[in-house]
Amino acid sequence: MGMKLSEKTGHTQISNKAPINVCPFCGSKAGYYTKQQARGTIEYIYNYDGSEAENDGMYDLLTVKGGIYAYCLHCSKRLFKMQESEAQPWLTWT
């Protein structure tokens, strides 16, 4: 009786889980947010008949900064630093 196990190998499970489950300041489990600041210009392109043209590059002039720290949704206290590099191990393959 041959039982074949199909084994999924390869990828390490990537976790975006926060390092905490609950806000240490107010005890809220509501969640957290990051602050991102966008500045710049959005060029929205129209054809002369009023229809929308190709707008693939509409965000090219926009700069987005921030998103480094996580803040509590409830009390807005800074909770932890987002792990940008560690969260993407597939980018460090050699």
Note the residues at the interface with Zn ion (CB under 5 A).
23, 25-26, 28, 72, 74-75
Sign of the dihedral defined by the CA atoms of residues 10, 16, 22, 24, in that order: positive
In terms of CB distance, is 27 or 40 closer to Zn ion?
A: 27
In terms of CB distance, is 59 or 73 closer to Zn ion?
A: 73
Shortest Cβ distance from residue 27 to Zn ion (Å)?
A: 7
**Strands of 62-72's sheet, edge to edge?**
32-40, 62-72, 78-81
Tokens read off for 54: 């190709």
In terms of CB distance, is 70 or 72 closer to Zn ion?
A: 72
